[in-house]
């Protein structure tokens, strides 16, 4: 090989090496990760993190599988909560759980069920300091409470973007199970938008992040974080027969938490927008019937009179495909998304109607408290047909996996008794109209579509669908 060839080869090798270094630097920079602690670069302050609306990352946080730096960032900001019940110096009940400091001036997020009905709340930090906390506000629908301790310069967690979380992504759960301070466990995201019917509220919002990170008693209110150390959820519940961890746990997503704590700070309560519809998931059979290429979206089963949905022109049997360009495929997804907005906000809704996709704009209204006593209004019909029913409890919805009303008494010799219906029957539809509660039952009986009434429903102890028909 000549000297000229050697020099040419060396030059090419040198240029290749320089090009590789330049490309690596560009890729590393675009990933937006600081190699020292894996924290996001874009957000610079607590206010930016929570209230700017700038969601700080779109990349997968699980690229590093080293959890040490994330644990270092998160652990000092997770606190132990002792909630005491009593009057004055007399204490007759104690509970414990976890909380997460989300600002340097001492705001703490936890679950409402951790501090519910407490007369005194004590906070213990990871560095052993103790404080008494006051309740800023709470939201029953999401089981979130906001607390405050006096002081400044507290370690805190940046609130991340739960929408960017992916199934299969590594996460850490940090809390105080069994009063063991600052315990860290790891797992992956198992699923998103889970509804397990566990929240006991008038308008529960359940769109949980499901994870297999180990959660036990005392973890409630603790942090679920990604490997960047960003808060993506508040650990809330486990599904268990033993009372201990059995494989899956559930967290309230951070994007919903961000809206809740912003409202609690500003108003002391949550200002939640109301769309004004009931919906159900579209299955494969329904998709084929209405002409959808695949089973996606949610079908409207009821439009509330004078609601934003009715004013905008939404109709029963419309299928909602997207809201603000975000795909909707389940009731929990729609509930969580709408819950991030206030009354007066406008939502762009993509619907499928009569074979075509249309776009409507809906202005959300406030939730109107209905003081009508539907059980009282149903009394004449109960007497006429010979039965009584009530709304399902939260636990009954969870066990049965459905919504409806439960038959609690049957009068001998009346029309219902002649159908052989038994007490405990759960009515899920009347003349093919879905029944979510006593209000729907009242409408279905008061405004029947024919001369016969047909109940469809289930029994908790028996399999299958049961139908009972009787004349008006």
Domain boundary among 313, 332, 366: 366
* Tens of pLDDT, residues 22-68: 555 554 443 332 323 333 333 444 554 455 544 455 444 555 567 89
At 146 the three-state DSSP class reads: strand
Name the domain count of the chain.
4
On whether both 99 and 23 belong to a single domain, the answer is no
pLDDT at residue 38, rounded to an integer: 35
Closest to 255 in 3D by CA, of 147, 155, 337, 347:
337
Query: Does 108 score more than 80 pLDDT?
Result: yes
Q: How far apart are CA 360 and CA 380, in angstroms?
A: 40
Token pair of 278 as six digits: 């009931």
On whether both 360 and 236 belong to a single domain, the answer is no
On whether both 384 and 302 belong to a single domain, the answer is no
On whether both 381 and 244 belong to a single domain, the answer is no
Of 132-136, 249-253, 445-449, the least confident: 445-449
Regarding predicted confidence, which is higher, 465 or 89?
A: 465
CB 362 within 8 A of CB 351: no
Question: Which residue range(s) make up the domain with 404?
Answer: 374-471
On whether both 244 and 384 belong to a single domain, the answer is no
* Tens of pLDDT, residues 379-402: 999 999 999 999 887 767 767 778
pLDDT at residue 218, rounded to an integer: 82
On whether both 155 and 280 belong to a single domain, the answer is no
Instruction: Return phi, psi of residue 75, to 5°.
Output: -55, -45
On whether both 109 and 209 belong to a single domain, the answer is yes
Query: Does 369 score more than 70 pLDDT?
Result: no
On whether both 281 and 243 belong to a single domain, the answer is no
Of 91-95, 156-160, 371-375, the least confident: 91-95
How far is CA 429 from each of CA 184, 189, 246, 278, rounded to the nearest angstrom? 46, 35, 35, 13
* Tens of pLDDT, residues 157-185: 999 999 989 999 999 999 987 767 788 99
Q: What is the mean pLDDT of the chain?
A: 83
pLDDT at residue 258, rounded to an integer: 94
CATH of the domain at 174: 2.40.10.120
Query: Does 375 score more than 90 pLDDT?
Result: no
* Tens of pLDDT, residues 4-17: 554 555 556 656 65
Catalytic positions: 113, 143, 220
Question: What dihedral do alpha carbons 334, 340, 342, 344 form, nearest 10°?
Answer: -50
Token pair of 452 as six digits: 């016969």
Query: Does 247 score more than 80 pLDDT?
Result: no
Domain boundary among 345, 366, 387: 366
On whether both 55 and 148 belong to a single domain, the answer is yes
On whether both 262 and 291 belong to a single domain, the answer is no
Domain boundary among 209, 244, 270: 270
């Amino acid at each position: 090989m000549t000297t000229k060839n050697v020099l040419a080869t060396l030059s090419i090798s040198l240029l290749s090496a320089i090009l590789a270094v330049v490309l690596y630097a560009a890729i590393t920079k675009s990933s937006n990760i600081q190699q020292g602690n894996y924290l996001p670069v874009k957000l610079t302050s607590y206010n930016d993190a929570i209230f700017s609306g700038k969601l700080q990352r779109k990349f997968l946080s699980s690229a590093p599988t080293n959890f040490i730096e994330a644990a270092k960032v998160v652990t000092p900001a997770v606190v132990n909560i002792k909630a005491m019940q009593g009057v004055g110096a007399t204490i007759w009940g104690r509970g414990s759980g976890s909380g997460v400091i989300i600002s340097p001036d001492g705001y703490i997020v936890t679950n409402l069920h951790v501090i519910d009905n407490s007369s005194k709340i004590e906070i213990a930090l990871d560095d052993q300091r103790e404080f008494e906390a006051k309740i800023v506000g709470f939201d029953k629908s999401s089981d979130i409470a906001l607390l405050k301790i006096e002081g400044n310069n507290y370690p805190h967690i940046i609130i991340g973007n739960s929408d960017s979380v992916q199934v299969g992504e590594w996460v850490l759960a940090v809390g105080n199970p069994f009063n063991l301070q600052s315990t860290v466990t790891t797992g992956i995201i198992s699923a998103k938008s889970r509804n397990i019917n566990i929240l006991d509220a008038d308008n529960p919002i359940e769109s949980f992040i499901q994870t297999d990170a180990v959660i036990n008693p005392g973890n409630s209110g603790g942090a679920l974080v990604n490997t960047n150390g960003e808060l993506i959820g508040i650990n809330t519940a486990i599904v268990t027969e033993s009372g201990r961890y059995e494989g899956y746990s559930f967290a309230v997503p951070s994007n919903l938490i961000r809206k809740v704590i912003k409202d609690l700070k500003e108003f002391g309560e949550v200002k939640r927008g109301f769309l004004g519809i009931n919906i159900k998931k579209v299955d494969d059979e329904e998709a084929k019937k209405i002409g959808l290429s695949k089973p996606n979206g949610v079908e409207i089963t009821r439009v509330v009179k004078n609601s934003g949905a009715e004013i905008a022109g939404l109709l029963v049997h419309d299928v909602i495909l997207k809201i603000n360009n975000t795909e909707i495929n389940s009731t929990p997804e729609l509930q969580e998304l709408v819950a991030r907005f206030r009354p007066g906000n406008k939502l762009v809704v993509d619907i499928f109607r009569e074979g075509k996709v249309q776009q409507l704009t809906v202005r959300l209204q406030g939730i109107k408290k209905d003081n009508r006593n539907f059980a009282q209004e149903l009394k004449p019909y109960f007497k006429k047909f010979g039965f009584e029913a009530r709304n399902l409890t939260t636990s009954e919805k969870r066990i049965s996996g459905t919504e409806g009303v439960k038959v609690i008494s049957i009068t001998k010799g009346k029309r219902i008794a002649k159908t052989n219906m038994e007490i405990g029957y759960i009515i899920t539809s009347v003349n093919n109209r879905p029944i979510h509660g006593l209000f729907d039952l009242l409408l279905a009986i008061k405004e029947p579509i024919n001369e016969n009434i047909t109940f469809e429903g289930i029994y908790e102890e028996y399999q299958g669908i049961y139908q009972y028909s009787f004349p008006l």
